[in-house]
Amino acid sequence: MADARAPGRTGNDAPVGIGVVVVVLAVLFTPVGVQRLRARMWRPERAATVALTGPVEFPQVWFQAEAPRRVGRNERVTGALTIDPTAGTATLTVAEGPLPITEVTEVSIGGRGGDFVATWVEVHCRVGAKTTVAYFNDCRWLAWAPVLTGSNLRMADAFAALTTG
């Protein structure tokens, strides 16, 4: 009697497929876990030990004036951010023009809302004429740039170097 299974199939295809999926997910999300751990260990005092000379530029960032939410629409503005710790200045350039970021009093970094990949940099400051808590995230490479390059840690270091009190 002939075997009804397709030729070349062993019957173990499901476990092999599951194993491949697990390996692919581990390769994709291990850097996310490492980035989350690095963000959890970040402290504002670190900026004093990191040599920041000249402007630090982030060509594409998301800016929000409210905390990222798990549910609902997040109102994000995309722009370019330049932070110059030696000059004590930061500027967010959006479609409407440049917005100065001044009076930085507190900086933190970490996951916010339901965003699994991004580690947002939370900055207590003045943006233009408004005192606010601003949230920044390097959004290059579909927001994977901070995970793969540590750019949000550099952003947090640069903002912490601007802290006034």
Half-sphere exposure of 99 (CA within 13 A, CB side): 21
pTM of the model: 0.79
Task: Specify the amino acid at residue 66.
Answer: E
> pLDDT tens string for the chain (165 positions)?
555 555 665 656 667 778 888 888 888 778 888 888 888 888 888 766 666 778 999 999 999 988 887 777 778 899 999 999 888 899 999 999 999 999 999 999 988 776 666 789 999 999 888 899 999 999 998 888 988 898 999 999 999 999 875
Cα(145)–Cα(101) distance, rounded to whole angstroms? 23
Phi-psi region of 143 (alpha: psi -120 to 50; beta: other; left: phi over 0): left
The full set of domains in the chain, from first to last, is: 40-161 (2.30.29.30)
Residue 64 to residue 98: CA distance in whole angstroms = 15
State the alpha helices, DSSP H only, in 46-143: 46-49, 140-143
Helical (H) or strand (E) element with 127:
strand 120-127
- CB count within 10 Å of CB 150 equals 17
Instruction: Give the separation between CA 97 and CA 90, rounded to whole angstroms.
Output: 14
What pLDDT, on a 0 to 100 scale, did the predictor assign at position 33? Answer: 81
CB atoms within 10 A of CB 104: 22
In one letter, which amino acid is 117? Answer: V
The answer to whether residues 100 and 91 touch, using CB atoms and an 8 Å cutoff, is yes
Distance CA 156, CA 137 (A): 10
